[in-house]
Amino acid sequence: MNETLVCVVGNVATQPLYRDMAAGPSARFRLAVTSRYWDREKSAWTDGHTNFFTVWANRQLAVNVAASVEVGQPVVVQGRLKVRSETREGQQGWASADIDAVAIGHDLARGTAAFRRAARPDAPPRATRPEPEWETPPGEAVGEEAEQSPVEAAGVT
């Protein structure tokens, strides 16, 4: 309910790792997000600090990430931010920022992409329903008086 939703723009830093798990497909990759600012002294754009996020994708999104995303590509990621920290015995503590992705796409401000709809091989086949009777049965032609039901005959509408 009180989740931190983020939208980050960056470059794919590692090749997506795809796995078929018992709970469904899963994929993850590292995303590098570098801030840029205008340096007045140099009169040029300069790279600032780079933040790294581990992006997690599940189910159909994981399948599509594995087929579409490669190292170095600019992407836009939207999802839930999860910050984890841990201290291990005899080691320095560490923190990790993960994004549980809801949507991932290529950044079209920096290039082009060709969209293809994903096939759904594991979708159940659609049930076929019989064609409805469109013809009017004999005796109920337009303009003929229809037999009244008991409710209509009683004047209840």
Q: What is the pLDDT of residues 118-151, one digit of tens each?
A: 776 655 555 555 655 656 666 665 554 555 555 5
Band (pLDDT 50/70/90 cuts) for residue 117 is confident
Cβ atoms of 55 and 17 closer than 8 Å = no
- pLDDT at residue 90, as a whole number: 79
- pLDDT at residue 55, as a whole number: 96
**1-45 residue pLDDT tens:** 678 899 999 999 999 999 998 889 999 999 999 998 999 998 999
Q: How far apart are CA 100 and CA 54, in angstroms?
A: 9
Band (pLDDT 50/70/90 cuts) for residue 92 is confident
| Rg of the chain on CA atoms, in Å | 29
96 or 121, higher pLDDT: 96
- Length of the chain measured in residues: 157
Query: HSE on the CB side for 3, CA within 13 Å?
Result: 13
- pLDDT at residue 94, as a whole number: 83
Whole-structure pTM value: 0.68
- pLDDT at residue 87, as a whole number: 82
Strands (E), 59-128: 74-86, 94-106
